[in-house]
């Protein structure tokens, strides 16, 4: 910045009003540099041009300022909301920005007469009831599996539900009460939904008490079958709660979010842990963007925490339809900058600014703690440790052979504690003009292809050449019993070698099974079918993505897709060769069933017959030299 421009800006800011509002700094090219809020615009903006007490990071930014804009608001709270929205929209390089392109996961109960239980991502509406958001998809999947096992709520789509004529597989394995065929009345199913909702809200003891009362009631009425069902539910629910007993009986059990920030070698990580009803539901880590390249200095931990809290909780998904969005207690590993020690008790933030806005949004008082006691202290130590571990892993994963896997996890916004957890299953269909259709499934896990877990599927009973029907069949067979799979065997990504049609078919199958359709990624080939021209297509409504030939993530996806294609085509060719060998043997009039059986037994199968010489074939009982020559010509 030139001396004259600096003096001009110094004089100009003196004319700003002493009112609350938002200010924006721009460089000489008109690019946004920074967005900030102020209780007093004149004092706050003027402070940047005093040339004193500026940190190296802010001094670097001030040197780039060419002009500024301001917006006056009625209150500091309105300024905070506007600042938060502008940061997300404009992504200024000198702000702390927590990018999160993948929407948060929820557990959703639909507004249907017989509500459907499912996981959900995206914008919420008042037609349905949402619980969350959860820190990761594993927490949602775990909750859905618990509710299926205990309360047996349906997970199928409404179109499937209304067209059922008999109970599905989930009813047979005791994961659904089959309301689709009238096994339960609306009232009975509604009771199960109400109890499941209270469980998600953390009222575990009340749910157990209600189930016990119902069980005794049915027992007294000599309705022993229903009493036995309720007894099994109580046992299942008790087993689930016992697994979480360390948290449930601990001091401070309830609804708490734990937020810890850590720094290492120029990287920053925020770890968010979620506790609901005393159950620790898991962690999620965030890496704010751009800070490493701005200057050698990193923001203070308090700045990072304030930015995270504002961007995380003041979201569009704050809605009456959502339960447990903002818990009553936030545990932090650093005091926020707005804390005044003379005005606090028990390390609580005074009701100003961000805190006041959170109180208003939640409709109750939110408590901030940065020196917790008891079990909350243990939770905070765990969150700090997880943040440091995540930083260490990120530093290791950004170079070397893990770079492709890390790039893919970042591009898809996958929620992983470690790249070792990433499991990708890729499907491909292969046939020759409809003949010998086979599907392949290859697995990428633990940062390598897992050939021992590859599977081939013979596709039958479809119209030859119908790739959509083939894809539906292989996915149905692969994931029919996914509820029984251990968590580590459930993929985070289901890769489909195909475009919108194949992706839509996969979406329908996964939706029928109550699986998260957000894990589906289609790889549509470019016009000339070269690596780098592919487009990624998503089943959950996200816009298509073109990564480009230099993308490490795309190179990994191409490697997995090509392996699925190789595995499928080799299986298809073997199946076709076998079918054609059989047909060519049957076409020889002089060979009946007994001679064919002797030939197959003598050479160990069809391939052995095809590889045998004329003399070797003639050595089989009942086969003359002339017939052997005929067989040899037929197979070659």
**Dist CA 128 CA 322 (whole Å):** 9
b/e sequence 435-468, b meaning 16+ C-beta within 10 Å = ebbbbbbbbbbebebeeeeebbbebeeeeeebbb
b/e sequence 68-94, b meaning 16+ C-beta within 10 Å = bebeebeebbbbbbbbbebbbebebbb
Asked whether residue 145 falls in the same domain as residue 37, the answer is no
pLDDT at 324: 63
Select the more confidently predicted residue: 400 or 351.
Answer: 400
Residue 310 contacts residue 86 (beta carbons within 8 Å) = no
**Dist CA 585 CA 38 (whole Å):** 87
Q: CATH number for the domain including 50?
A: 3.40.1440.10
Over the stretch 332-343, which tens digit does the pLDDT of each residue have?
999 886 543 333
Q: Does 403 map to a domain?
A: no
Residue 294 clears pLDDT 60, i.e. is over it? no
**Dist CA 114 CA 157 (whole Å):** 11
- Of 493, 60, 120, give the one whose Cα is nearest residue 296: 60
Q: Does 374 map to a domain?
A: yes
Asked whether residue 382 falls in the same domain as residue 262, the answer is yes
pLDDT at 330: 92
Structure tokens at 22: 């938002």
Asked whether residue 367 falls in the same domain as residue 306, the answer is yes
Count of alpha carbons within 13 Å of 608, Cβ hemisphere only? 13
388's enclosing H/E stretch is helix 374-397
State phi, psi for 605 to the nearest 5 degrees: 135, 180
Q: Does 630 map to a domain?
A: yes
**Dist CA 491 CA 487 (whole Å):** 9
Q: State which residues form the domain around 12.
A: 3-90
Alpha carbon 301 to chain centroid distance? 28
Asked whether residue 385 falls in the same domain as residue 503, the answer is no
pLDDT at 249: 38
Q: Does 580 map to a domain?
A: no
Select the more confidently predicted residue: 131 or 435.
Answer: 131
Q: Is residue 247 very low, low, confident or very high in pLDDT (cuts 50, 70, 90)?
A: very low
* CB neighbourhood size of 247 (10 A): 20
Q: CATH number for the domain including 543?
A: 3.30.420.340
Most confident region among 317-331, 420-434, 448-462 by mean pLDDT: 448-462
**Dist CA 60 CA 64 (whole Å):** 7
> Of 358, 376, 397, which one is at a domain's C-terminal end?
397
> Of 342, 372, 397, which one is at a domain's C-terminal end?
397
H-state helical runs in 92-248: 137-151, 158-161, 169-172, 186-200, 204-220, 224-243, 245-248
Taking only Cα atoms into account, the Rg of the chain, rounded to an integer number of angstroms, comes to: 31
Domain count across the chain: 5
Q: CATH number for the domain including 361?
A: 3.30.420
Phi-psi region of 288 (alpha: psi -120 to 50; beta: other; left: phi over 0): beta
- Of 271, 415, 353, give the one whose Cα is nearest residue 84: 353
Asked whether residue 243 falls in the same domain as residue 302, the answer is no
Q: Does 170 map to a domain?
A: yes
pLDDT at 610: 78
24's enclosing H/E stretch is strand 21-26
Q: Does 402 map to a domain?
A: no
Residue 251 clears pLDDT 70, i.e. is over it? no
Asked whether residue 137 falls in the same domain as residue 51, the answer is no
Asked whether residue 243 falls in the same domain as residue 263, the answer is no
Coil vs helix vs strand at 339: coil
Q: Is residue 504 very low, low, confident or very high in pLDDT (cuts 50, 70, 90)?
A: very high
Residue 538 contacts residue 511 (beta carbons within 8 Å) = no
pLDDT at 47: 87
Q: Does 429 map to a domain?
A: yes
pLDDT at 505: 92
Over the stretch 387-403, which tens digit does the pLDDT of each residue have?
888 888 777 666 666 78
b/e sequence 546-580, b meaning 16+ C-beta within 10 Å = ebeeebebbbbbbebbebbbebbbebbeebbeeee
pLDDT at 250: 42
Asked whether residue 348 falls in the same domain as residue 451, the answer is no
Q: Does 268 map to a domain?
A: yes
381's enclosing H/E stretch is helix 374-397
Asked whether residue 333 falls in the same domain as residue 204, the answer is no
Mean pLDDT of 585-595: 70
Name all contacts of 115-118 with Cβ < 8 Å and 24+ positions apart: 115/153, 115/193, 116/153, 116/154, 116/155, 116/156, 116/157, 116/158, 116/161, 117/144, 117/147, 117/148, 117/153, 117/154, 117/155, 117/196, 117/514, 118/144, 118/155, 118/514
State phi, psi for 65 to the nearest 5 degrees: -70, 130
Compute the Cα dihedral for 147, 153, 157, 158 and give only its sign: negative
Whole-prediction pTM = 0.57
Q: Is residue 258 very low, low, confident or very high in pLDDT (cuts 50, 70, 90)?
A: very high
Phi-psi region of 184 (alpha: psi -120 to 50; beta: other; left: phi over 0): beta
> Of 365, 397, 429, which one is at a domain's C-terminal end?
397
Count of alpha carbons within 13 Å of 2, Cβ hemisphere only? 4
Pairing mode, strands 267-276 and 256-264: antiparallel
Asked whether residue 335 falls in the same domain as residue 439, the answer is no
- Of 447, 476, 442, 444, give the one whose Cα is nearest residue 460: 476
pLDDT at 116: 92
Asked whether residue 447 falls in the same domain as residue 388, the answer is no
Count of alpha carbons within 13 Å of 97, Cβ hemisphere only? 24
pLDDT at 100: 58
Asked whether residue 439 falls in the same domain as residue 556, the answer is yes
Over the stretch 189-228, which tens digit does the pLDDT of each residue have?
998 898 888 888 777 777 777 778 888 887 888 878 778 8
Q: What is the DSSP letter of 343?
A: G
């Amino acid at each position: 910045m030139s001396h004259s421009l600096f003096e001009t800006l110094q004089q100009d800011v003196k004319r700003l009003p002493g009112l609350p509002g938002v200010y924006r700094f721009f460089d000489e090219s008109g690019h946004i540099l920074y967005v900030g809020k102020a209780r007093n615009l004149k004092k706050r903006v003027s402070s940047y041009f005093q040339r004193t007490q500026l940190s190296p990071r802010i001094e670097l930014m001030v040197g780039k300022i060419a002009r500024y804009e301001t917006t006056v608001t009625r209150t500091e709270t309105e300024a905070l909301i506007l600042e938060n929205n502008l940061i997300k929209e404009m992504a200024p390089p000198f702000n702390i920005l927590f990018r999160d392109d993948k929407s948060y996961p929820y557990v959703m109960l639909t507004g249907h007469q017989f509500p459907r239980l499912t996981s959900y991502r995206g914008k919420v509406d008042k037609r349905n009831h949402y619980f969350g958001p959860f820190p990761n998809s594993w927490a949602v999947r775990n909750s859905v599996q618990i509710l299926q096992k205990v309360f047996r709520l349906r997970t199928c789509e409404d179109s499937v539900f209304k067209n059922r004529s008999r109970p599905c597989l989930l009813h047979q394995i005791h994961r659904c009460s089959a309301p689709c065929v009238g096994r339960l009345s609306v009232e009975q199913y509604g009771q199960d939904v109400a109890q499941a909702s209270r469980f998600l809200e953390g009222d575990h003891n009340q749910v157990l008490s209600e189930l016990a009362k119902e069980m005794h009631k049915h027992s007294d009425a000599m309705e022993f079958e229903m009493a036995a069902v309720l007894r099994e539910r109580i046992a299942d629910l008790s087993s689930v709660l016992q697994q979480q007993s360390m948290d449930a009986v601990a001091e401070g059990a309830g609804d708490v979010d734990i937020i810890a920030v850590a720094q290492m070698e120029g990287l920053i990580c925020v770890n968010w842990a979620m506790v609901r009803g005393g159950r620790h539901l898991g962690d999620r880590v965030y890496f704010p963007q751009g800070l490493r390249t701005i200057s050698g200095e990193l923001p203070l931990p308090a700045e990072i925490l304030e930015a995270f809290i504002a961007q995380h909780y003041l979201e569009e998904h704050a809605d009456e339809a959502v339960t447990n969005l903002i818990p009553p207690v936030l545990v932090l590993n650093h005091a926020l900058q707005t804390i005044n020690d003379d005005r606090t008790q028990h390390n609580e933030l005074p009701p100003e600014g961000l805190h006041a806005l959170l109180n208003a949004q939640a409709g109750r008082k939110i408590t901030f703690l940065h020196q917790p006691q008891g079990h909350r202290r243990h939770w905070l130590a765990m969150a700090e440790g997880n943040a440091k571990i995540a930083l260490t892993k990120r530093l290791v994963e950004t170079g070397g052979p893990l770079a492709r896997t890390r790039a893919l996890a970042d591009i898809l916004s996958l929620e992983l504690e470690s790249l070792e957890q990433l499991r990708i299953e890729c499907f491909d269909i292969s046939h020759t003009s409809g003949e010998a259709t086979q599907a392949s499934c290859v697995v990428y896990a633990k940062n390598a292809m897992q050939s021992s877990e590859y599977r081939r599927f013979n596709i039958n009973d479809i119209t030859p050449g119908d790739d959509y029907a083939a894809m539906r069949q292989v996915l149905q067979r692969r994931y029919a019993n996914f509820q029984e799979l251990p968590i580590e065997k459930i993929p985070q990504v289901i890769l489909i070698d195909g475009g919108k049609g194949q992706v839509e078919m996969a979406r329908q199958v996964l939706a029928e099974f109550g699986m998260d359709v957000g894990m589906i990624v289609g790889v549509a080939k470019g016009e000339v079918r070269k690596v780098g021209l592919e487009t990624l297509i998503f089943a959950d409504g996200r816009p298509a993505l073109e990564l480009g030939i230099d993308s490490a993530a795309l190179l990994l996806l191409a490697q997995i897709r090509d392996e699925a294609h190789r595995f499928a085509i080799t299986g298809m060719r073997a199946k076709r060769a076998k079918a054609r060998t059989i047909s060519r043997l049957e076409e020889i009039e002089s060979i009946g069933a007994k001679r064919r059986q002797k030939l197959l037994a003598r050479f160990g199968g069809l391939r052995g017959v095809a590889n045998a010489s004329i003399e070797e074939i003639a050595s089989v009982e009942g086969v003359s030299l002339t017939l052997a020559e005929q067989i040899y010509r037929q197979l070659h």
